[in-house]
Amino acid sequence: MDYVFLILIISVFLNVDSAVARKQLQSSSANSFVLGIKHSRMTLLTPKRAVSSVQSTTGSSSASTHESEPFVMVEPLRAVRDGYLIPLYLGTPPQLIHVYMDTGSDLTWVPCGNNLSFFHCLDCDDDGINKKYYLTTAFSPFHSSSTAREPCSSSFCIDIHSSDNYIDPCTMAGCLLSTLIKSSSSCGSCPSFAYTYGAGFGRGTLSLPSQLGFLQKGFSHCFLPFKFANNPNISSPLVIGNLASISSDQDENLQFTPMLMSSMYPNSYYIGLEAITIGNSSSSSEVPLSLREFDSRGNGGMLIDSGTTYTHFPEPIYSQLLSTLSSVISSYPRAEDMEMKTGFDLCYRIPYTNPHNNDNTSNSNTIDTTREDFDILPSITFHFLNNVSIVLSEGTHFYAMGPPRNATVTKCLLFQRMEDGENGPAGVFGSFQQQNMKVVYDLEKERIGFQPMDCASSAVSHGLHILKP
């Protein structure tokens, strides 16, 4: 039998990427450590193709033929499976498992069993040639002497079923996970959904740092830009424990906004968004109160979630944002064909004047389309509670959909509309918009800090960059 296992950490070893990082780990206190997290990248799963992917798993044939063709990206990414991977060694002797860092969850879970061939990806793009993609390596409990089965009456199992993770599969699926992921089984009436195996960094007792005893102070991360994805020579810094708290107190450039507490989802991280500024405008557009307040049931606020790629906004502010951007960028032609093809709501063809990529630390087969044309597109600034203003770094709102042609490049806005629903957050601050930004989760003082930062330089300072000979 093969299963998805929610992990109660009995024996875990963290894979430290470099000798420098290992030295820092050894010299730090027993309540903190530094890790390197890798960015996983596949082909872009656009909003339109995401629907087609779900339809294909349920037997629908309504997807158009051109949507199954390969979609080439300059720096491809996936909206569902893209994220930042933490290498963990689980069990005794240790088995290496890669899991996604997920601040929007407090569950840590991996595929578990002896027959990996059963684990198929239900939400992977087949690139038009019907390939099968397999998930991460499965953990084998039968080859670990430290594995123990938990009784259903244990506090661990009770915590799992009482978890407030509204977006986690075990909560939303309503049926056995083993049924959902086994290719030999029919999903029947179970709803289609996308899932990733992850290390929850929420505030609950089941999260990875909580189980390891490092959650008292907090943690911080600095996500490398997507152009570094799958680069084996550099990792995004992830600092857990006292070091994150101490560094935040000593850094005057950090801006802190208070954590908001939802009575319905107390293990999640919420912040309050007050307004958005487009370009150099002297006036800002106010956002609905629901993005900084909760209703009587605990719904609302803006969830900060590394497990969600793109930032999501509710209506009507999402449409208002598109309208404002359209009026500011009116001198450039809309790429409506790209909007139709991808499902993104706002795409433009803009001049491209930077044909050479001189960044030796990124992948050599990528083209940097974020620098010379950055000033052409308006900046976007988020204004959070406590007078915190964050200007999104270049390339984190509009992104190139392909290589430049005829001195132009097509870029689309990588924000998405929040799905209608009565429960959960009003908006989500996704990982794509957190690139090149130090984000500090100060749990002791109940606040989240932001600071624009060159995360590649930060990785070097933490010993997470392997220099080429």
Q: Per residue, what are the HEC states of 256-320?
A: EEECECCCCCCCCCEECEEEEEECCCCCCEECCHHHCCECCCCCECEEECCCCCCEEECCCHHHH
- Pick the range with the lowest mean pLDDT from 53-57, 133-137, 411-415: 53-57
Residue 211 pLDDT grade (very low, low, confident, very high; cuts 50, 70, 90) = confident
- Pick the range with the lowest mean pLDDT from 80-84, 236-240, 275-279, 390-394: 80-84
Residue 123 within any structural domain of the chain: no
**46 Cα distance to chain centroid:** 15
Residue 38 within any structural domain of the chain: no
pLDDT in tens, 258-286: 999 999 889 999 999 999 999 988 778 88
0.85 surpassed by pTM: no
Residue 340 within any structural domain of the chain: yes
On whether the CB atoms of residues 291 and 300 are closer than 8 A, the answer is: yes
Q: What is the CATH number of the domain that holds 305?
A: 2.40.70.10
Query: Which range scores top for mean pLDDT: 149-153, 322-326, 371-375, 419-423?
Result: 322-326
* Residue 282: C-alpha distances to residues 64, 196, 211, 306, 376 (Å): 45, 42, 47, 31, 18
Residue 395 within any structural domain of the chain: yes
Residue 389 pLDDT grade (very low, low, confident, very high; cuts 50, 70, 90) = very high
Domain with 334 in it: 253-355+373-453
Q: DSSP letters along 161-186, please? A: HT---TTSHHHHS-S-HHHHHBTTS-
Name the domain count of the chain. Answer: 1
- Report strand pairing: 437-442 vs 427-429: unpaired
Mean pLDDT, residues 430-450 taken together: 93
Residue 215 within any structural domain of the chain: no
Give residue 313's pLDDT: 96
Structure-model confidence comparison of residues 306 and 370, the more confident one? 306
Query: How many C-beta atoms lie closer than 10 Å to residue 54's C-beta?
Result: 18
Give residue 468's pLDDT: 52
> Which residues, in sequence order, are bridge partners of residue 439?
221, 450
- Pick the range with the lowest mean pLDDT from 55-59, 133-137, 276-280, 295-299: 55-59
Residue 257 pLDDT grade (very low, low, confident, very high; cuts 50, 70, 90) = very high
Q: Give the residue among 423, 439, 431 at the shortest CA–CA distance from 262.
A: 423
pLDDT in tens, 340-357: 998 899 999 999 876 444
Residue 57 within any structural domain of the chain: no
339 phi and psi, to 5 degrees? -65, -40
pLDDT in tens, 16-57: 444 434 444 443 445 555 666 665 544 454 665 443 333 333
Give the CA radius of gyration of the chain: 22
User: Of all residues in the chain, what percent carry a pLDDT higher than 70?
Assistant: 61
CA atoms within 13 A on the CB side of 284: 17
Structure-model confidence comparison of residues 458 and 5, the more confident one? 458
Give residue 84's pLDDT: 82
Residue 264 within any structural domain of the chain: yes
Residue 174 within any structural domain of the chain: no
Give residue 27's pLDDT: 39
Q: Give the residue among 396, 370, 390, 393 at the shortest CA–CA distance from 440.
A: 390
Residue 381 scores a pLDDT above 90: yes
- Report strand pairing: 415-417 vs 311-313: parallel
Residue 193 pLDDT grade (very low, low, confident, very high; cuts 50, 70, 90) = very low
Give residue 164's pLDDT: 60
